[in-house]
Chains A and B, each alone.
Chain A
Amino acid sequence: GQQLNQSPQSMFIQEGEDVSMNCTSSSIFNTWLWYKQDPGEGPVLLIALYKAGELTSNGRLTAQFGITRKDSFLNISASIPSDVGIYFCAGDPNTGNQFYFGTGTSLTVIP
């Protein structure tokens, strides 16, 4: 299967700080998705990216589809306590709408 390397694995930040995380692949993807998962729940979609170079925002969240189509980035500005959770990237290499997921970034926000 496809390998998605997501980093960092975990982050501990102060409230108000900005956060950056990324996801890289060994092969080209045609779609990148970013999800957030709270404990005991399913992942919830944050941002979807469909074109190389695309930069999309959703409130304090901004994500980019890398030019090489092998990576994607998620930034969170001015973090707040409710940002706590696990963030996952997912990519579709367009081999039949199969999505592969990164191993997640666990975010802890210290008030």
Chain B
Amino acid sequence: DAGITQSPRHKVTETGTPVTLRCHQTENHRYMYWYRQDPGHGLRLIHYSYGVKDTDKGEVSDGYSVSRSKTEDFLLTLESATSSQTSVYFCAIGAGGSGANVLTFGAGSRLTVL
């Protein structure tokens, strides 16, 4: 988890409330990603960023928004949490570029929506 910090690590919330998860990196990597992990589905990409204020949707983006105002921070927001968004959320960073790109993951944020 060197260089990547996710907060909070655990959160319990109620349906309909907004939730923001934060990912902070100290590696100055260009790419940042948010994945969710659910049993039987592996890791699925929610949103990713390829630079400050440059973001794009992943395969499961409905119900989520992101923002990246600084290189080091990538925020994931659930505007109105639903029980189907109960999951473990992982942030990842990547330096980008073909032939050398790998993802480094944070420790995860476990979200429970009641």
Contact = CB atoms under 8 A, between A and B. Distances in A.
A103 B103 contact: no
A67 interface: no
Interface residues of B, number: 30
Interface in B31-66: 31, 33, 35, 40-45, 48, 50, 56, 58-59
A48 B35 CA distance: 19
**Candidate in A40, A44, A48, A101 with the most chain B CB atoms within 10 angstroms:** A101
B4 to A, nearest CB: 8
B44 A101 contact: yes
A94 interface: yes
A44 B105 contact: yes
Interface of A: 1, 4, 6, 30-31, 33, 35, 40-45, 48, 50, 88, 90, 92, 94, 96-104
Interface of B: 1, 31, 33, 35, 40-45, 48, 50, 56, 58-59, 90, 92, 94, 96, 98-108
Most chain A beta carbons < 10 A, residue from B31, B94, B105: B105
A1 B50 CA distance: 19
B43 A1 contact: no
Given A31-B101, A42-B108, A45-B104, A96 B56 contact: yes
Nearest to A99: B103
9 contacts: A35-B105, A40-B108, A41-B108, A88-B43, A90-B43, A97-B31, A97-B96, A97-B101, A103-B42
Contact of B40 (A44, A90, A103): A103
A25 B96 CA distance: 22
A101 B31 CA distance: 17
